[in-house]
Amino acid sequence: MRLAGKVALITGGASGIGRATVEKFVREGAKVMIADIDLPSAETVVADIEATAPGATAAVRVDVSDYAEVEAAVQRAAEVFGKLDVIFNNAGIAGGRPLLEHDPERDYRPLVSIDQDGVYYGILAAGRQFVRQGTPGVIISTSSIYGEQAAELSFTYSAAKAAVISFTRSAAYELAEHGIRAVAITPGRVGTPIINQFSEELRATFASEQLRDRLTEPSEIADVVAYLASDEANAINGTVVHVDDGYSAFKQRLELPVF
Q: 157 an active-site residue? A: yes
How far apart, in whole angstroms, are the C-alpha atoms of residue 88 and residue 90?
6
From 120, 121, 146, 157, the catalytic residue: 157
How far apart, in whole angstroms, are the C-alpha atoms of residue 97 and residue 102?
7
How far apart, in whole angstroms, are the C-alpha atoms of residue 88 and residue 183?
10
How far apart, in whole angstroms, are the C-alpha atoms of residue 144 and residue 186?
4
Give the contacts of 223 (CB within 8 A, at least 6 positions apart). 24
Distances (CA, A) of 99 to 96, 104, 151, 187: 8, 10, 12, 24
Rg from Cα positions in the chain? 18
* Alpha-carbon torsion angle 4, 7, 10, 16, nearest 10: 20
Catalytic residues, by residue number, are 157
